[in-house]
A and B are shown apart, each in its own frame.
Chain A
Amino acid sequence: MELDARYRFENYVVGSANRLAVSAARAVAQAPGAAFNPLFIYSGSGLGKTHLLLAIGHLGRQLQPDLKVAYSTVDELVDELNASVASSAVDALRERYQNVNVLLLDDVQFLAGRRETQSEILRLFNGLQRSGRQVVLTSDRPPAEIADLDERLITRFSGGLVVDVGAPDYETRAAIARVKSDERGAQFDTGVLDEVARIPFGNVRELQGALNRLIACQTLGERAVTALNVRELLGERLEVAEAPVATAVASNGRTRRGGEFSNFLSDLSAVVAQQIEPWRIRLLEVMSRWREQGFLTAAIERALEASEEPDVEATVRQYESAVARLQSLGREAEALDPSLASSDLFRDPERVGEAELAVARLLGAAEPPPGPSPDFVRADFEVGPSNQLAVHAADTVIEEPGKKYNPLVVYGPSGVGKTHLLNALGNELIALRGGATTVACVSARHFTEELIAALRDGTIERWRARYRVVDVLIIDDVHECAGTERTQEELFHIFNALYASGRQIVLSMRCAPKLIEGLEDRLRSRFEGGLVVEMQAPDHVLRERLYARSLSAADVRHDRALIDYLASRAVASVAEIMATVQRLVQAADVVGIPLTANFARKELEGRVAAPAMAHNGNGHPADPLFLDEEKVIWDWPDVSGRAIEEFR
């Protein structure tokens, strides 16, 4: 790619308004990729951005002849991109740009609204940055002000150095006028160029246009150009350049009023620019930009108060990322409640935490997380020695949520009533405060599925927010999320947020936390920091109660013998008891006889070789001859029940 040879550092006039930009550009040309990467130069039109950009390319090549430099405007790039898409040569295009050492991209403000090009540029940008290639960009405005520019591009564009080029002051204009007239080989009377420079042109192109006109006048020989008639010859242009200040035209026409004043102003600007440290200006620019948009800037103000130069870019990055967070929170809040759009909460980057919480509350109210199932009632929950500790802990939590046992972890095999207990606990908490308590009650599997859906829909923030505002978080079967990375990560953060604000967490799992493989240590240690209680398989007492309840619920008349018999059989879970009762009730129904202990025994053990022997503990099959109902002791108290008795 050929660079226009006219644009070099040698003929770029340096003044106070562009000194920083030129120094940065030179540093970049001398050591591409090492100094400021990317370098982002912005200024109004006609102030020399393109000149500077090409000068970097020339100097770079001059110093390293084999340096690969690519110059393109965004518009050209878009055309190239379109052409390559049409000819299916996108990869070739990408490769071409990925191989350059220095990419000079002009007029990036035209990326506004071009999503496809933006994503291509982002990809290109990432590739170049990874391999330490230099990128230099120009625009007519700073990155954050380019409309519809991808956030990622804004941060990348601002990640190196962002400099602006201001309008030239008098001296600079004078120097430019001389350089330009020399380039054209024009000779003017003394004072002519200085008089031209006194006209406060807002940009170099206007100045150049004025010079061209004077050169034309002189070459045509219509009139000699002198210092006295310069302004007259440039009449029209003067109007344009001085329009903003030339409001007070002297009645006698002696001098154009405003000229003196604007010269004074531009001189003053040069002095001020020289005197004020660049880092303060950088901070002030950031400050004024965000102030204009209504954000508080206390952090920047503090940085400005420092007598020594702070880490300006880090300060700015930190501040702007907080602002970006606020903006996205503000948008979210506005979508939920338009009256919040103007809330001060979304204007103070020092209160991001509060804003996050406010949005989370809104989201929690708008889409509450799943609550406990109303089918599970605490009053229905039967207590026995095998679960009384867990129940006692749950009751304590109901009385004082978040105070005593936090988190409460209940573990035990499947079917012992963990889910019932947890849901019942949630329902009690809701009922106690008349529904004012928000309780999230969810299984770990469902939790993970929600997370996956949120990741897919890009609503992860919302999802997270819903859980962060609950008063009580109940997660069932936490072992299901063992081995997952993201779920545990999210759970960890939610756990911390809730725990820190004293909100109750109740968890259930299959076995003790320390035995769950694939559970992250940071979670394990947090789980163990509360109360970990076991729920065992139903003991004898519990079995009695559960059988009695189930039979009553099935509307079956039952006697003591039946309950005693049934309760004497060890079961692994409450579910098993329910299944047994159902089976017996159905069997009795089929033959049409009442459900008795004998019937139950036949039904349950008929096909078993010697079920009674299973209870006597010697393990040998019994001789069927001895199976006399009258003589055999069927109901040995079970071993676990006895052990507890003795233990007491």
Chain B
Amino acid sequence: MRAHRVPQPEQPVPLVNYATREITCKIVYYGPGRSGKTTNLHYIYGQVPNERKGTMVSLATQTDRTLFFDFLPLDLGSISGFNTRFQLYTVPGQVYYHSTRKLVLQGADGVVFVADSQVRQLDENIESMQDLHSNLAEHGMDVRTVPLVLQYNKQDLPPDLVLGTAALDHALNFRGVPAFAAGALHGTGVFETLRGISELVLRRLSTAGSPATPSTAHAGSR
């Protein structure tokens, strides 16, 4: 198992480095508190074969709420000759961790917005979405171009407790980004979501510009 040091969130990592043959994707799971971001990461972690597992770092409170952020490094091995690593982060959902959220978001190559499908959480979803937009804007990232997918989590709850995907689309997905219904606790939709955001992020490889200065790939988005 490879020992991973938790990188400082403020260090931007280039998406693709042709010289060292590395693709490093930073994907941030964003969303309101208790929407299931950490659950997503845990499910992914459980599916990863042992030899590819990094150490999942979870800085949680005693009541299992994410205090700072979760960090799951994934070593995907060689893909088309590139050593590919994914860094999955979650942000603490609670409103009062605003500065941490902002910090974690820095240098993100893609964002998964995990919405809580429960009817009573709608306002918090919307608030968190607005918070995401403002944080992205503060990092100088163009909200229209940053890879983003939505996950409507907890769709496995009784139908009378949750909003349908159409209603959630209407409320949250005004940009028409890919959205996935999920029940993260049982793993439904988790990999579909990860695949969705990965594809969006990786499609930017070809438009990443000169590989000598990979960071310029993000010039417009940071």
Residues of A near any B CB (own CB < 8 A): 244-248, 255, 257-258, 260-261, 263-265, 267-269, 271-277, 280-281, 284-285, 287-288, 301, 304-305, 307
Contacts and interface: CB of A to CB of B under 8 A. Distances in A.
B166 interface: no
A268 B52 CA distance: 15
Interface string B145-165: 000000000000000000000
Contacts of A285: 81
Question: Which 6 A-B residue pairings sit nearest by Cβ, starting from the closest?
Answer: A275-B205, A305-B212, A275-B206, A245-B49, A261-B47, A271-B202
A198 to B, nearest CB: 12
A280 B23 CA distance: 14
B80 to A, nearest CB: 5
Given A258-B47, A267-B195, A271-B198, A280 B205 contact: no
Interface residues of B, number: 35
A268 B205 contact: no
10 contacts: A244-B49, A255-B187, A264-B191, A268-B84, A272-B82, A272-B84, A280-B18, A285-B81, A304-B18, A305-B210
B51 interface: yes
A265 B47 CA distance: 12
B209 interface: yes
Given A247-B51, A275-B202, A265 B79 contact: yes
Contacts of A304: 18-19, 211
Contacts of A301: 19
Contacts of B122: none
Contact of A271 (B19, B81, B199, B209): B199
A261 B80 contact: no
B210 A307 contact: yes
Contact of B191 (A245, A246, A261, A272): A261
Given A265-B77, A268-B76, A305-B18, A258 B191 contact: no
Interface in B182-206: 187, 191, 194-195, 198-199, 202-206
Central interface residue in A244, A260, A277, A281, by most chain B CB within 10 Å: A260
Given A269-B79, A269-B80, A288 B206 contact: no
A15 to B, nearest CB: 13
A245 B75 CA distance: 13
A617 B199 CA distance: 107
B11 interface: no
Given A260-B47, A304-B18, A305-B212, 19 more contacts: A247-B49, A247-B51, A248-B46, A248-B50, A257-B46, A257-B49, A261-B49, A263-B191, A268-B202, A271-B199, A271-B202, A276-B80, A280-B211, A281-B80, A281-B81, A284-B21, A285-B81, A305-B210, A307-B210
B43 to A, nearest CB: 9
Contacts of A269: 79-80
A274 B46 CA distance: 29
A268 B206 contact: no
A281 B21 CA distance: 10
B49 A246 contact: yes
Central interface residue in A257, A271, A277, by most chain B CB within 10 Å: A271
A223 to B, nearest CB: 28
Contacts of B16: 276
A276 B46 contact: no
B48 interface: yes
Contacts of A244: 49
A221 B202 CA distance: 45
Nearest to A255: B187
B205 A264 contact: no
Nearest to A282: B81
A433 to B, nearest CB: 48
Central interface residue in A248, A263, A272, A301, by most chain B CB within 10 Å: A272
Contacts of A288: 21, 81
Contact of A268 (B48, B79, B187, B209): B79
A323 B198 CA distance: 38
A458 to B, nearest CB: 38
Contacts of A268: 76, 79, 84, 195, 198-199, 202
Given A246-B49, A248-B49, A261-B49, A272 B211 contact: no
Contacts of B80: 269, 272-273, 276, 281
A264 B195 contact: yes
B3 to A, nearest CB: 19
A245 B49 CA distance: 5
Contacts of A275: 202-206
A598 B203 CA distance: 110
Interface string B12-44: 000010110101000000000000000000001
A284 B81 contact: yes
Contact of A276 (B48, B195, B206): B206
A276 B187 CA distance: 31
A304 to B, nearest CB: 5
Nearest to A308: B210
A449 B50 CA distance: 67
Given A260-B191, A265-B76, A247 B50 contact: yes
Contacts of B79: 265, 268-269, 272-273
Contacts of A248: 46-50
Given A247-B51, A275-B205, A260 B187 contact: yes
Given A268-B84, A304-B211, A284 B18 contact: yes
B212 A276 contact: no
Nearest to B74: A261
A273 B49 CA distance: 23
Interface in B47-96: 47-52, 76-77, 79-82, 84
Contacts of B76: 265, 268
Contacts of B21: 284, 287-288
Contacts of B49: 244-248, 257-258, 261
B58 to A, nearest CB: 19
A263 B191 CA distance: 9
